[in-house]
């Protein structure tokens, strides 16, 4: 298929595009699994973008000022894998041939950290699109903070390739709305407008005018009527780059499974191999040799591989500029490099307050706000905000500016955190868009140079679950502030009172969940969260006041770092009972422990703010806190009891919440649900003296009664 003489530029373009198409087709065929349709239809726009526009260095995929490329429709993963291989990333052809196989670098959907050049993990539709909004925000923030006249050290685009499914998912509406409001002019999305989804034509469920929808969000939109028209795609991309005020959506009308005589424009080309016969027909139709498979014409490869030299050169030029910048602005340069490397500046934590003992105390959300507003002074990479809940979550960063388009009139400043209105502002006003907020935070973290935090009520973590899960999967150090953490929030009632959310978050692998018991544990929790740069952390905080424990009487709050620690031990001998609590229930078990001690019981009090941190400790430490020989253990937590059996054991007991909450003042709800010193003492006595029948000893009626009131105690 190589041309014997130099091909014309149109022939070369065609050769390159078909190379992408058939690498994708052959890989899916060999794996007998995957999605050929998208790469076949979108290959021309991807080719134009990657060979004429994308600023990247295949030999250094982490070059700071590269353009970011996101394939939001992650099922089309063979498209970027083909491009990464062809343009010279460290992704050899053998890896393409191992598509979707155990241990390969070409997993079913793109996974950040696994494949060089993959910026973000995609597959759940809509997430990548919202990630790209986060990346564009990161770029604007870093450019505003670090660029100086003649030194545009941060100057790149974010490109996303999105599909029908991406634009149908609600998260894309949230993110697009915010991107339009913020006027993120350097965000450019190519929409593979092919009218087909997994099981249908879009005319069955998706008929709104997408261009008008995005226009209404404040986007710049263009339509390319023929997805194989390279000049039109080229032109549209140039126009999009020239548009500084609005993010761009280019609707490129394509054909799913382009070239396949029997499957093009049908959902049969979406998610299954074409099959031997159809591959043959398709190759014939597009003038491609049947053999060998995974065929890469030399001329196509040479054309793609020019990216290696141009990329190296682009980075070298950037390095030269940066060297001059570092001479002119040494402090800024150091700060920038440190942030991009994910390193924390020395003494970043110097201002973290410690809180004096106080029986009245404060809500952990309030303590969190105080800590956050100290940390932020030394950590310019810390930016974030809430989903319209700043006054409730205490997450506004005072006087460090609002992240808003600098060309906008400040206008109505209700809700402004103060300190200026620009892209250098560090308060992100996400609006009431929890799902978008989570996915945007992933984009901020994936871009680099940013420590993102988000905030909302714990109950609405449910609205953020998909991006939280992806943050954990991608090992991104996003920090989630979740306040109003239990039924104790009171009058708002069961719709707002979280019950199963803690258990649900704990079920996500690689996520650290921390529920501090007082102001000082909250300070240490923030410490842990900031230091956790490759793992997301959820801080679970109260609305109501909690006593600030007197740490001369109790162990230091630093114990939080180990997940669980002995807050107060028996005066001598072996404990008869271990009381375990988290968050707001720790002060309850402390008081219950005092009462029980007065009754002559030997009680150990354990604060257990984080299961994950505890599980990461050596066995010897875990045994020292919860000795296997001590069976009577009572855990108290205002949440679902699921999972606690791991710590209380078969002979232990849990006071938790096994039903929805109720609308009443918080103290009343807590009392009615058994979160009282008296109930804890009674249950402890029953446990130690064996009066309360264990689950298997109960009659069915008794078991049902307990189950109704408390949920599964084990």
DSSP bridge partners of 482? 456, 540
Task: Compute the least distance from the CB of residue 42 to ligand TPP, in Å.
Answer: 8
Q: Which helix (H) or strand (E) holds 310?
A: helix 298-328
Residue ranges in 207-226 that form contacts with ligand TPP under rule CB under 6 A: none
Complex with ligand TPP: residue 84 or 269, whichever CB lies closer: 269
Q: Which of 58, 110, 124, 559 binds ligand TPP (CB under 6 A)?
A: 124
CA 554 centroid distance within chain: 36
For strands 603-607 and 577-581, give the pairing: parallel
Write b or e for each residue in 650-659: b if 16 or more Cβ atoms lie within 10 A of its Cβ, otherwise e. eebbbbbbbe
Instruction: Give bridge partners of residue 362 from the DSSP assignment.
Output: 546
Residue with tokens 């069915």: 700
**545 by DSSP, 3-state: which?**
strand
Interface stretch with ligand TPP, choices 192-200, 572-580, 638-646, 654-662 (CB under 6 A):
192-200
Cα separation of the two ends of the chain = 67
CA atoms within 13 A on the CB side of 702: 8
73 belongs to the binding site for ligand TPP (CB under 6 A): yes
Q: Near ligand TPP by CB under 6 A, which window of 195-203, 379-387, 595-603, 671-679? A: 195-203
Report the nearest approach of ligand TPP to the CB of residue 548 (Å): 43
**CB-hemisphere CA count at 13 Å for 181?**
13
Beta bridge partners of 568: 605
Task: Tell me if 142 contacts ligand TPP by CB under 6 A.
Answer: no
Interface with ligand TPP, residue 21, by CB under 6 A: no
Site for ligand TPP in 601-640 (CB under 6 A): none
CA separation (Å) from 52 to 88, 233, 703?
A: 15, 11, 69
| Residue choice 45, 256, 307, 513 for contact with ligand TPP (CB under 6 A) | 256
Q: Does position 67 bind ligand TPP by CB under 6 A?
A: no
Q: E strand or H helix at 421, and its extent?
A: strand 421-422
Q: Where are the alpha helices (DSSP H) in 575-642?
A: 585-598, 611-615, 619-625
Q: Which stretch binds ligand TPP (CB under 6 A): 34-42, 217-225, 491-499, 675-683?
A: 34-42
Identity of the residue, 161 or 603, whose beta carbon is nearer to ligand TPP in the bound complex: 161
In the set 196, 362, 375, 578, which binds ligand TPP (CB under 6 A)? Answer: 196
Please tell me whether residue 586 binds ligand TPP under the rule CB under 6 A: no
Q: Which of 29, 278, 315, 434 is catalytic?
A: 434
Nearest to 263 by CA among 479, 25, 49: 25
Least distance (Å) from ligand TPP to the CB of residue 197? 3
Could you say whether residue 164 binds ligand TPP (CB under 6 A)?
yes
Give 107-115 contacts, CB < 8 A, sequence gap 24+: 107/77, 108/33, 108/34, 108/77, 109/74, 109/75, 109/77, 110/71, 110/74, 110/77, 110/80, 110/81, 111/473, 111/474, 112/446, 112/474, 113/474, 113/475, 115/81, 115/84, 115/91
Q: How far is the CB of 71 from ligand TPP (least distance, A)?
A: 11
Q: In the bound complex, what is the minimum distance in angstroms from residue 246's beta carbon to ligand TPP?
A: 24
Q: Which is nearer to ligand TPP, 122 or 542 (CB)?
A: 122
Binding test (CB under 6 A) with ligand TPP, winner from 163, 228, 522, 584: 163
Cα 255 from chain centroid (whole Å): 32
One of 7, 34, 37, 661 touching ligand TPP (CB under 6 A):
37
Which position among 165, 361, 438, 661 is part of the footprint of ligand TPP (CB under 6 A)? 165
- Phi/psi of residue 637, nearest 5 degrees: -150, 130
Q: Applying CB under 6 A, which part among 73-81, 381-389, 391-399, 633-641 lies near ligand TPP? A: 73-81
Kindly state the number of chain residues that form the binding site for ligand TPP, as judged by CB under 6 A: 20
Q: Which is nearer to ligand TPP, 197 or 248 (CB)?
A: 197
Sort strands 479-483 and 451-457 into parallel, antiparallel or unpaired: parallel
To the query of whether residue 434 is one of the catalytic residues in this protein, the response is yes
Q: How far is the CB of 257 from ligand TPP (least distance, A)?
A: 9
The site for ligand TPP (CB under 6 A) is made up of 35, 37-38, 73, 75-76, 123-125, 163-165, 169, 192, 194, 196-198, 256, 270
Q: Which residues are catalytic?
A: 434
């Amino acid at each position: 298929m190589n041309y014997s003489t130099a091909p014309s530029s149109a022939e070369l373009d065609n050769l390159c595009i078909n190379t992408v198409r058939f690498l994708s087709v052959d890989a899916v065929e060999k794996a007998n699994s995957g999605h050929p349709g998208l790469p076949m239809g979108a290959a021309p726009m991807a080719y134009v973008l990657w060979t004429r526009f994308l600023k990247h260095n295949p030999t250094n995929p982490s070059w700071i000022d590269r353009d970011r490329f996101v394939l939001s429709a992650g099922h089309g993963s063979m498209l970027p894998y083909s491009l990464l291989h062809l343009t010279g990333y460290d992704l050899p052809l053998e890896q393409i041939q191992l598509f979707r196989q155990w241990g390969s670098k070409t997993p079913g959907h793109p996974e950040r950290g696994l494949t060089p050049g993959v910026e973000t993990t995609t597959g759940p539709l809509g997430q990548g699109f919202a990630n790209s909004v986060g990346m564009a925000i990161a770029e604007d923030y870093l450019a505003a903070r670090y660029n100086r006249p003649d030194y545009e050290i941060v100057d790149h685009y974010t490109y996303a390739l999105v599909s029908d499914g991406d634009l149908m998912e609600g998260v894309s509406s949230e993110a697009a709305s915010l991107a339009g409001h913020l006027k993120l002019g350097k965000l450019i999305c190519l929409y593979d407008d092919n009218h087909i989804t997994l099981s249908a034509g879009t005319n069955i469920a998706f008929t709104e005018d997408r261009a008008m929808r995005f226009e209404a969000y404040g986007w710049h939109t263009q339509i390319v009527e023929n997805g194989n028209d390279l000049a039109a795609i080229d032109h549209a991309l140039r126009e999009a780059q020239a548009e500084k005020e609005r993010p761009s959506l280019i609707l490129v009308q394509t054909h799913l499974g382009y070239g396949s005589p029997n499957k093009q424009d049908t959902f049969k080309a979406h998610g299954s191999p074409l099959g031997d016969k159809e591959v043959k027909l398709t190759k014939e139709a597009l003038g491609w040799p049947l053999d060998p498979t995974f065929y890469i014409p030399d001329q196509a490869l040479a054309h793609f591989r020019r990216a290696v030299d141009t990329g190296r050169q682009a980075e070298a030029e950037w390095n030269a500029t940066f060297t001059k910048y570092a001479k002119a602005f040494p402090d800024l340069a150091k700060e920038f490099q440190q942030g991009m490397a994910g390193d924390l500046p020395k003494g970043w934590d110097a201002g973290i307050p410690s809180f004096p003992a106080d029986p009245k105390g404060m809500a952990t959300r309030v303590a969190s706000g105080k800590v956050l507003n100290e940390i932020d002074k030394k950590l310019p990479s810390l930016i974030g905000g809430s989903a319209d809940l700043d006054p409730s979550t205490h997450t506004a960063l005072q006087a460090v500016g609002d992240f808003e388009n600098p060309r906008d009139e400040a206008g109505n400043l209700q809700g402004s955190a103060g300190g200026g209105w620009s892209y250098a502002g560090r308060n992100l006003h996400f609006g009431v868009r929890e799902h978008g907020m989570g996915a945007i935070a992933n984009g901020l973290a994936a871009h680099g140079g940013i420590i993102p935090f988000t905030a909302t009520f714990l109950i609405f973590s449910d609205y953020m679950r998909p991006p939280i899960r992806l943050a954990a999967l991608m090992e991104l150090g996003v920090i989630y502030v979740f306040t109003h953490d239990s039924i104790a929030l009171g009058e708002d009632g069961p719709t707002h009172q979280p019950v199963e959310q803690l258990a649900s978050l704990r079920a996500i692998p690689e996520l650290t969940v921390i529920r501090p018991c007082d102001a000082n544990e909250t300070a240490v929790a923030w410490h842990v969260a900031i230091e956790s740069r490759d793992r997301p952390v959820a801080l679970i905080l109260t609305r109501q006041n909690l006593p600030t424990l007197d740490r001369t009487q109790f162990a230091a709050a630093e114990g939080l770092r180990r997940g669980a620690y002995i807050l107060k031990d028996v005066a001598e001998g072996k404990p008869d009972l271990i009381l375990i609590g988290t968050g707001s229930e720790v002060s309850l078990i402390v008081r219950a422990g005092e009462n029980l001690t007065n009754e002559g019981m030997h009680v150990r009090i354990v604060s257990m703010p984080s299961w994950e941190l505890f599980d990461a400790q050596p066995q010897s430490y875990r045994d020292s806190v919860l000795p296997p020989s001590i069976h009577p253990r009572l855990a108290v937590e205002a949440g679902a009891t699921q999972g606690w059996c791991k710590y209380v054991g078969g002979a232990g007991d849990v006071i938790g919440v096994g039903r929805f909450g109720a609308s009443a003042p918080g103290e009343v709800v807590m009392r009615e649900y058994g979160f009282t010193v008296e109930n804890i003492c009674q249950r402890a006595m029953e446990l130690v003296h064996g009066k309360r029948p264990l689950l298997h000893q109960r009659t069915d009626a008794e078991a049902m009664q307990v189950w109704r009131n408390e949920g599964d105690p084990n």
